[in-house]
Structure 1
Amino acid sequence: MKVGRNLYSLLPLALLFVLLGMEDARTLLLIPLGLMAVQWYFTGMLFLLATAGFLIYTWRGGLYGLTVMALSVLAVEMGYLDRERAPGEHYLVLLSAVAMSFPTYLLMKTLSPVLPRLEVTALAALLLVVLYSFTRFVAS
């Protein structure tokens, strides 16, 4: 008997659209792209770029911007894990890698008055991608 595909990726996607919809109703136009992002990885990358473009265009950053990008990464990567029928440990690695971006953001925010001018949100988002890439490389 063939086991059906998990749809864990829809949870972060739903949370993401709740956050985006509360901020600006026009972002709900991203829903079709977000749903396709769960199915196809290339569309997922386009979805990440569109979400980042929205944040840059509207000058949204801080903890809100980091949460939106973290949920976007979770939705796209969990969609990939759903398609591959990955074991639960892979989901835990993904969740822990994304969760580590928040303490990193808070650390950078507390250090930013002392350090030369840094964009804290961009640095935390970059560290999120680097951390996830590292954990994915190690897990492979």
Structure 2
Amino acid sequence: MGQKQLHPQVLKFKEFVKAHPKIIQEVNNKDKTLQEFFEEWYLLGEEDPLWDKYKEKAAERSESEKQKSSKWTETIFTSLKKIDPNQLQEHLYHMNQAIGALQNLLAQFQTNSIATPSPKQSPNRPEQSFFGFRKD
């Protein structure tokens, strides 16, 4: 039913791991397990110098963010270079025609619904929706 509450120490360890992302890298590389890291953290505490090597330095973080940003912009620019303006113009023309056709179709339905009166309800029966609920 409800989600089981985690022990407060486990919650603190989760926050600790978020602040030390290189721990996850070591777990993914199968150098150590999270259980081993948890036990060391529990015994040594958060302030032990052992944990310094697992912190991501701000310079590394900003450098990785710059690399991601430059890769993203590079991908966008290469995609824009590959676009053929003639094909783009042709696609836009066809889309414009399709939208125009839809607008004409909708306009025809709107004029038909205005011209055709809806069936009248009997005076002794209140108006009901499809599911049998009365309208307010």
Shorter-chain TM-score: which interval? under 0.3
TM-score by length of 2: 0.26
| Structure with greater contact order relative to length (CA < 8 Å, sep ≥ 6) | 1
TM-score (norm 1): 0.25
More helix by share: 1
